[in-house]
């Protein structure tokens, strides 16, 4: 269950990124992937995902776009925000992306390596009225289909442990195990104490857990 702070943060993040995507697409006539690339490259996405108040709630979605474009050197004469876009597909794309980033702990950069904004937009007709968790499940399945299982996941399943059981036996949190298996966190950069605990529990060497190439 979310704490009150988390809930307020999430509401602000979803609304503002929704407004930003809406404004970038419908007023500035930008491709969503173009805007997302600039959002990530300029470093603002990382700050937004980390919960920096200025970007999560201190700026409107329109102001967020202005800041992103100004940092990139692309700021030009920009239109005022239009009216009535709250339920536009582009608004939903930013809105649900903010939820997915918060829920999974993936960085925006990591998410975009696996799925484009256009692909998210294509999910609008079937998922915009569904629960947010349905979107999370759908995107996670898409990522799993396009990426082989991690070594951690293969080893865990080979000994018959669920993620929860591995967490209980190793002392590594369930959330962290999920993030390593989803490649939301790079297991090659994990703390040595965590790698040692996982290897000991799974009966393998630390080297057996490391990935050859992590995106």
Same domain, 96 and 188: no
% of the chain surpassing 90 pLDDT: 72
- Residue 155 and residue 58 share a domain: no
The string of pLDDT tens digits covering residues 79-130 is 776 665 567 999 999 999 999 999 988 899 989 988 999 999 999 999 999 9
User: Into how many domains does the chain fold?
Assistant: 2
Across the range 174-198, mean pLDDT stands at 92
> What is the separation of C-alpha 87 from the centre of its chain, rounded to a whole number of angstroms?
21
- Say yes or no: 66 and 121 in one domain: yes
CA distance 193 to 101: 27
What's the pTM? 0.71
- The last residue of one of the domains, among 146, 161, 176, is 146
The mean predicted confidence, pLDDT, of the chain is 89
Which residues span the domain enclosing 199?
151-209
């Amino acid at each position: 269950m979310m704490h009150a702070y988390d809930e307020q943060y999430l509401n602000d993040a979803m609304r503002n990124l929704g407004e930003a995507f809406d404004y970038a697409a419908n007023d500035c006539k930008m491709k969503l992937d173009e805007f997302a690339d600039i959002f990530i490259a300029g470093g603002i996405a990382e700050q937004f995902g980390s919960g920096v108040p200025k970007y999560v709630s201190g700026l409107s979605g329109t102001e967020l776009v202005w800041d992103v474009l100004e940092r990139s050197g692309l700021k030009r004469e920009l239109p005022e925000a239009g009216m009535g876009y709250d339920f536009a597909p582009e608004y939903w794309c930013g809105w649900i992306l903010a939820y997915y980033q918060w829920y999974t702990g993936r960085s925006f950069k990591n998410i975009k390596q696996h799925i484009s904004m256009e692909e998210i937009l294509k999910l609008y007709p079937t998922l915009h009225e569904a629960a947010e968790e349905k979107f999370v499940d759908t995107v996670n399945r898409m990522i799993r289909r396009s990426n082989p299982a991690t070594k951690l996941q293969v080893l865990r399943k080979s000994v018959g442990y669920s993620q929860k059981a591995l967490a209980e036996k190793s002392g590594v949190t369930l959330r962290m195990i999920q993030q390593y298996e989803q490649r939301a966190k790079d297991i090659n950069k994990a703390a040595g104490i965590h790698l040692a605990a996982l290897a000991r529990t799974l009966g393998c060497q630390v080297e057996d857990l490391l990935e050859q190439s992590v995106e």
